[in-house]
Copies of this chain bind each other. A is one copy, B any other.
Amino acid sequence: MRTSEKTTTYRAAVVGGSGFTGAELAELLVRHPSLELVAVSSDTQAGSPVAESLPRVRTGLDFCRHDEVADVDAAFLCLPDKAAAPIAKRLLDEGTAVVDLSPDFRLGIDDYREWYGEHPHPEMLPGVYGLTELHRDEVAAARLVANPGCYPTAALLALTPLLALDVQDVVIDSKSGVSGAGKTPNARTHFCSVDSDVTAYATAGHRHYPEIVAGLTRGGGHPDITFVPQVVPLQRGIQETIYVRTAERPAADDLRALYAEAYDGEPFVDVCDAPPSLRDVARTNRCRIFPTVDERTGRVLVVVVIDNLLKGASGQALQNMNVMLGLPEQEGLC
């Protein structure tokens, strides 16, 4: 885009720029026509140039400390659970619009306690759940938005239209790229542990499970859900194949129409006629969904793909911020 036409209105900060989602957001922000990246914080890298460790982020900024982020219109929190809430509170009090990518505001207090422990600011719950397509109006009215987890984003976009039928039983087989495990090296993210392999994990329960349940409940559904995440040898992307029993078996055409109507006009959601591929959503904020009926059993199958770091994290965060600030929802995204 023409630099001369950049009509920046808002000052924006990324709080927590050491990980994958913070880096992705910073990269999006330096290209955004209406948001100016004015701060990227990292307590461990404070003082060093951002562009040195993140060459894709074309900025002259140095990392600052988290507590130095102030005087901004918009903040994105890319921090671990429990670390995010206190900073969200401070920034909100200063009048900043906040999108929090941590789990701190995604769940009700009981679920939070069960899966994460004591919440630092329980009085701030429940938050506004920012699955933009499903909750656009609440997001527009909010000053603090809980950005959804990656698996739940894909699952809820794939399942919510089905709630118009009577959904009884759901199996979510999720495959995620390795960036979903974060940037900190460990035995499970070693190249030799991941390459040429597929590994199921967290079969006893994953923290995104209660978020998926809460999302479906919010939509009026109460199905029995099994959710199994798996790591596949790729960097970015989530594919979920979802198997659903509905009270009545839908016709394939009706099913297709149900989804087409649900996402009519949505710029970031495509309803497809064949199983989608990650290559069509990689490095975009898009979600592609293929709903079909297994003719032999009457089960509904839904295959969904997103880029876990964009629609599943930083892209959706920016989409939410665009909505919160009254900017065009697609601005700075593709």
- Residue ranges of A at the interface with B (Cβ–Cβ < 8 Å): 1-5, 7, 20, 31, 33-34, 55-56, 171, 173, 175, 177-179, 183, 185-187, 189-201, 203-205, 209, 224-226, 228, 230, 232-237, 239, 241, 243, 270, 275-280, 282-284, 288, 290, 292, 294-297, 299, 301, 303, 305, 327-328, 330-332, 334
Contact = CB atoms under 8 A, between A and B. Distances in A.
Oligomeric state, in number of copies? 4
A224 B276 CA distance: 26
A187 to B, nearest CB: 6
Given A186-B185, A203-B301, A224-B297, A237 B1 contact: no
Given A189-B190, A330-B3, A331-B2, A205 B278 contact: no
A91 to B, nearest CB: 26
Contact of A190 (B1, B185, B232, B236): B185
A270 B173 CA distance: 23
A195 B233 contact: yes
29 contacts: A1-B1, A2-B34, A2-B328, A56-B284, A171-B173, A171-B243, A173-B241, A175-B198, A175-B230, A178-B191, A185-B185, A185-B189, A189-B190, A189-B191, A190-B190, A190-B191, A191-B193, A195-B196, A196-B234, A199-B239, A203-B303, A204-B292, A224-B296, A226-B299, A228-B241, A228-B243, A230-B239, A233-B234, A283-B283
